C-alpha cells in the first residue's frame, strides 16, 4: 500500500498523539533524557574538580557547549555495536568533547545517569501534575458551593435513597481528590537523589578515585545531590535506587485513577438520568447514527485512561518484587513503559477532568421531576408523624399509608404512570387534619439535613487551605481537548 506520509506507517502511542500535554511528553522524550545525562556528567565533573580531582574548567565548558546537540543517529549506531545505551552516549559525547573525553563518566556506573535522570524526571512530573490536580479541586469546589443546597436523589445500591444535594455529592469527589493530592505531594517531598554510589552501591570506585578518603566520597555524594536540586540522597542503594520508590509513586497515580474513574462513572450515570452533563461543543457529534445523542465522551475517556493507569500498579509492584539482590535488568524495559505511561495517563486524565469541571451543566427541573417520583414514598414517615401530632393513631395511619403506597407503586411499576401517592393522600378524608401541611412536609430541602452547611464547612476548612498553598501555580483553565 502506498502511504503518502511515512509518519503514519509506524505505531504511535495515543498518549502522545491524542491525550497528554506537550510539557509532560517532553519530560519523557529522548531529547530531555539524554541531555539530562549530559548535565549529570557535567555536575559530576564539577563536583570531582571541586573536591580535588585534576579536571579543568575548559573541559567542563566544552561539555556545557554540547548539552543539547545530541547526534541520535550516531548514538544508535554505537548502541548497535556495544549493545549498551549509556556507553553509546558516552562515546558520542566524547567525540564531541575530545578535551573532556578522559573525564566523562569518571568513576560512575550506568545507573548514575540512568537512575538519577529518572528521579529528576519523576520529581518534575509530580510538580507538573499537582497544580493540575489542585485546579480540578478548585473548580469542583466552586461547583459544590454553587449547588450546595440543590436537593437531589441520593442513591445506595444504585436505588433511590434519602435526598442529598448536588453540591454535597460533588464534595465526596473532592474529598477523594484531596487524598490524592496529599499522596502525590508526599511522593514529591519524600523523593531523594541516588547520588554517586558505584556499581553495587558501595562507592568503591569513588573511594579509589580519592585515594581511600571516605570523607571526600561522602562530600562528592552531597555536592552532586545539591547541584542536581535535591536536598537529600538515599543513604544506601544497590546498583539502583530501590524500585520501592517507583511503586510508591505509581501506587499514588493508580489511586488517582481510581478516584477519577469513580467520579466520572457517577457523571455518566447522572448524564443517563439527564440531571447533569459535561460540556458539549456546538459542533460536537455524539453519534454517527443517532444525531440527537449527547454522549459523555470526556467522562468516558477519563474512565478508559484511568483503568489503564490503575493496572500499571501491578507492573511497579512486580518489578520491585523480582529485583534480585543488588539488581537485575528485567526492570529496565518494564520501567520504560510503566513510568512514562503512568504519568502521561495521569496528565491526560487531569487535563480532561479539568475541562469537564469547568463546564458542568445541571438541569434542576429534571432533578426536581425525578425527586417527585420518589419523595412521596420517602415522606411517609413524616406524614405519619404529622398525623400523630394532629391526634391520629400511629398504627391506623401506618396501615392507611401502606395501602396507599402500594397502590401508587403499582401505578408507577405496572402502568408506567407518575407517582400519585400525594393525590391519594389528599383524596382520603382521614388525612384532612394535615392537608395544609403537605407542601412543607414534601419540601425537598427539609430532607437534606446539614448537606449545604457541610459543603461550606468542608470547602473552608479543607479545600481552601490546599488551594491557597499552591497560589498562582494552580492550573484552572485547560486548552481545548485534542480529539
Q: Which residues are catalytic?
A: 157, 287
Q: CB neighbours of 94 closer than 8 A, spacing ≥ 6?
A: 100, 101, 104
- Can you tell me which residue has the cell 568513576? 107
Distance in angstroms (rounded) separating the CA atoms of residues 191 and 187:
6
Distance in angstroms (rounded) separating the CA atoms of residues 92 and 75:
6
Q: Which residue pairs, CB below 8 angstroms and at least 24 apart, start in 171-174?
A: 171/144, 171/454, 171/455, 171/458, 171/459, 173/140, 173/259, 173/262, 173/263, 173/266, 174/137, 174/140, 174/141, 174/144, 174/458, 174/463
The H or E element that residue 151 is part of is: strand 151-156
Phi/psi class of residue 354: alpha, beta or left (left: φ > 0; alpha: ψ in -120 to 50)?
Answer: alpha
All 3 cell numbers of residue 415?
402502568
In the three-class reduction of DSSP (H, G, I as helix; E, B as strand; rest coil), residue 184 is classed as helix
Distance in angstroms (rounded) separating the CA atoms of residues 367 and 270:
10
Distance in angstroms (rounded) separating the CA atoms of residues 217 and 198:
11
In angstroms, how far is CA 407 from the centroid of its own chain? 49
All 3 cell numbers of residue 161?
435513597
In the three-class reduction of DSSP (H, G, I as helix; E, B as strand; rest coil), residue 159 is classed as strand
Amino acid at each position: 500500500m502506498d502511504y503518502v506520509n511515512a509518519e503514519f506507517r509506524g505505531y504511535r502511542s495515543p498518549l502522545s498523539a491524542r491525550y497528554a500535554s506537550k510539557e509532560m511528553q517532553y519530560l519523557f522524550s529522548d531529547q530531555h533524557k539524554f541531555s539530562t545525562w549530559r548535565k549529570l556528567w557535567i555536575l559530576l565533573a564539577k563536583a570531582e574538580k571541586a573536591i580535588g580531582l585534576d579536571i579543568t574548567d575548559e573541559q567542563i565548558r566544552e561539555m556545557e557547549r554540547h548539552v543539547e546537540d545530541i547526534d541520535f543517529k550516531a548514538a544508535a549506531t554505537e548502541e548497535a555495536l556495544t549493545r549498551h545505551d549509556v556507553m553509546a552516549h558516552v562515546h558520542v559525547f566524547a567525540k564531541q568533547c575530545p578535551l573532556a573525553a578522559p573525564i566523562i563518566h569518571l568513576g560512575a556506573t550506568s545507573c548514575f545517569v540512568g537512575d538519577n535522570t529518572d528521579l529528576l524526571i519523576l520529581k518534575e512530573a509530580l510538580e507538573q501534575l499537582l497544580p493540575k490536580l489542585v485546579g480540578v479541586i478548585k473548580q469542583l469546589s466552586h461547583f459544590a458551593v454553587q449547588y450546595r443546597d440543590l436537593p437531589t436523589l441520593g442513591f445506595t445500591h444504585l436505588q433511590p435513597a434519602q435526598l442529598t444535594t448536588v453540591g454535597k455529592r460533588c464534595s465526596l469527589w473532592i474529598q477523594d481528590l484531596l487524598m490524592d493530592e496529599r499522596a502525590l505531594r508526599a511522593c514529591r517531598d519524600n523523593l531523594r537523589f541516588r547520588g554517586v554510589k558505584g556499581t553495587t552501591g558501595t562507592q568503591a570506585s569513588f573511594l579509589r578515585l580519592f585515594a581511600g578518603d571516605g570523607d571526600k566520597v561522602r562530600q562528592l555524594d552531597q555536592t552532586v545531590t545539591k547541584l542536581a536540586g535535591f536536598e537529600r540522597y538515599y543513604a544506601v542503594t544497590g546498583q539502583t535506587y530501590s524500585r520501592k520508590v517507583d511503586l510508591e509513586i505509581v501506587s499514588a497515580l493508580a489511586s488517582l485513577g481510581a478516584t477519577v474513574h469513580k467520579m466520572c462513572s457517577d457523571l455518566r450515570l447522572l448524564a443517563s438520568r439527564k440531571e447533569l452533563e459535561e460540556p458539549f461543543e456546538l459542533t460536537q457529534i455524539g453519534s454517527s447514527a443517532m444525531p440527537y445523542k449527547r454522549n459523555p465522551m470526556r467522562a468516558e475517556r477519563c474512565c478508559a485512561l484511568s483503568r489503564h493507569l490503575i493496572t500499571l500498579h501491578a507492573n511497579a509492584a512486580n518489578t520491585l518484587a523480582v529485583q534480585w539482590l543488588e539488581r537485575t535488568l528485567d526492570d529496565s524495559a518494564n520501567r520504560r513503559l510503566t513510568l512514562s505511561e503512568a504519568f502521561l495517563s495521569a496528565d491526560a486524565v487531569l487535563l480532561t477532568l479539568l475541562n469537564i469541571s469547568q463546564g458542568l451543566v445541571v438541569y434542576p427541573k429534571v432533578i426536581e421531576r425525578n425527586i417527585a417520583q420518589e419523595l412521596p414514598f420517602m415522606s411517609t414517615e413524616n406524614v405519619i408523624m404529622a398525623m400523630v401530632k394532629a391526634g391520629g393513631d400511629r398504627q391506623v395511619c401506618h396501615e392507611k399509608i401502606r395501602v396507599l403506597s402500594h397502590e401508587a407503586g403499582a401505578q408507577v411499576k405496572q402502568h408506567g404512570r407518575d407517582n400519585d401517592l400525594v393525590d391519594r393522600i389528599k383524596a382520603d378524608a382521614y388525612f384532612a387534619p394535615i392537608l395544609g401541611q403537605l407542601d412543607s412536609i414534601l419540601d425537598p430541602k427539609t430532607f437534606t439535613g446539614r448537606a449545604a452547611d457541610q459543603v461550606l464547612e468542608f470547602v473552608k476548612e479543607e479545600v481552601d487551605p490546599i488551594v491557597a498553598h499552591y497560589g498562582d501555580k494552580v492550573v484552572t483553565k485547560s486548552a481545548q481537548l485534542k480529539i
